[in-house]
Structure 1
């Protein structure tokens, strides 16, 4: 038994340590599941009522959306993407920021006999879980409004959703490691997350924009998420924009690499 433990591969050790860090966050998350699931539902629900049912009823009389039977169906995948983005980013940022600045337990975590990369991966997995939990409540609303269960629960839709959570959990780790106060978190939220909520293709078809605006919009990861989830929900598999998967995957890996580097070189 002892020799088997000694022969355990570094990758296996890293995975087990990451799951240990993740489990610590899960023990905190599980007592607040209802709060977490509902916290990201408010804004999407307001947008659904105001834009999908309010503005959408007028738009449906003059035009047909590029995906879905009406404007409400058109924006619902964007609302799922939006909720997962907000909570994956915000939950991860505040978790790390709170440990660093208020409870002062972050230093103790860094002293644990685990590789810093394992701490980083564990925090990212917790952020992904937060996003998926919150998105599940919006998916339920989307199913109720449309009656299309498979559209929002098919593997391709869930894959794009998970990649989106990974991208913004990775961004949340970076911000959480660098902000000096909660006001700093608010600045990132106001200048990055809020503009992306409206410019990431959630309320419009990005392909119809002028070239100059299209160049800006397609720099945003949420645009690729919305594009992929909308296609996965309503369009035939032959029309799915497969490029969104490698784009989101590369973004998640790059952000994860930056966060892992900062974890390894952190002097707090």
Structure 2
């Protein structure tokens, strides 16, 4: 791609994103708070409730003082996944199925990849708003500010948002009703919420289950966030970054293809 084409792609992407941002900026607090309810329930029920009976050393690495510290990075991963996916999916579905403004976007003379990236960026912002709220809760519970605000931690959160916002764009372009969105949520997002290493260490699983767990992108986010928060850099699982990056790029090309062939 030539330099001028790349600059045009970036400009078009930001233009598409700006349209969503104008709507999103007036709902920042509701968006940030909407994805905070489930993580708070999990933190209270599992972290403070069940976690109080799990002692350090009993299935938990010595890097954690208690089970609550172990699960907090997973809650950041979970919240960013859910809001990035559902917010992006419902936004596109609303434009396609109800307001009927989506057809106008398809007529805009921009590259299909820019359409996907613009919508994906809006989903990333939604995910970061909620993830930021959960990070504040994590800091309040642990007092470890820089554990949750270091560059590796934040990079993984952004990549996780990009992966699931990209998936949300694809689902939003594919479904024909809101009921279909519920099916994706029930059979994809909810199982991944519990199987994506948010509540357990996948290294303790049998080999057969490891294959399933390590097939999920959320697993790499949870493992990476936990390591970035509590482990030295020498023990960071660097493979998590290229896995999430490749997943986000692959979903971008799939989304661009769908935009190029969308019939609405």
What is the TM-score normalised by the length of structure 1?
A: 0.95
| Separation (CA, whole Å) in 1 of partners of 2:119 and 2:89 | 10
Contact 2:56 2:67 in 1 (8 A): no
Q: By how many angstroms is 1:64 displaced?
A: 5.3
Contact 2:13 2:115 in 1 (8 A): yes
* Helix, strand or coil at the partner of 1:9: helix
Q: 1:139 and 1:61, CA in 2 relative to 1: closer, same or farther beyond 3 A?
A: closer
2:19 to 24, 45, 54: 24
| Separation (CA, whole Å) in 2 of partners of 1:62 and 1:242 | 25
Q: Paired residue for 1:14?
A: 9
Contact 1:200 1:221 in 2 (8 A): yes
Q: By how many angstroms is 1:113 displaced?
A: 2.3
2:40 to 30, 45, 64: 45
| Separation (CA, whole Å) in 2 of partners of 1:242 and 1:266 | 37
Q: By how many angstroms is 1:43 displaced?
A: 0.2
| Separation (CA, whole Å) in 1 of partners of 2:3 and 2:196 | 44
Q: Paired residue for 1:3?
A: none
| Separation (CA, whole Å) in 2 of partners of 1:187 and 1:148 | 38
Matches within 5 A, 1:28-177: 28-60=23-55, 63=58, 65-66=60-61, 67-177=63-173
What is the TM-score normalised by the length of structure 2?
A: 0.97
2:212 to 192, 216, 238: 216
Q: By how many angstroms is 1:116 displaced?
A: 2.0
What do residues 183-202 of structure 1 show as CA deviations (whole Å, max 9, x unaligned)?
A: 00000000000000000000
- Equivalent pairs counted in the alignment come to 262
Unpaired segments ≥5 residues, structure 1: 1-6
What do residues 76-102 of structure 1 show as CA deviations (whole Å, max 9, x unaligned)?
A: 000000000000000110111111000
Q: Paired residue for 1:248?
A: 244
Q: By how many angstroms is 1:70 displaced?
A: 0.9
Q: By how many angstroms is 1:208 displaced?
A: 0.5
Q: By how many angstroms is 1:226 displaced?
A: 0.1
Q: Hey, which bits of structure 1, 4+ residues long, moved more than 2 A?
A: none
Contact 2:113 2:252 in 1 (8 A): no
Q: By how many angstroms is 1:68 displaced?
A: 2.0
Q: 1:199 and 1:8, CA in 2 relative to 1: closer, same or farther beyond 3 A?
A: closer
Contact 2:87 2:126 in 1 (8 A): yes
Q: 1:241 and 1:179, CA in 2 relative to 1: closer, same or farther beyond 3 A?
A: same
Contact 1:22 1:123 in 2 (8 A): yes
| Separation (CA, whole Å) in 1 of partners of 2:95 and 2:22 | 15
Unpaired segments ≥5 residues, structure 2: none
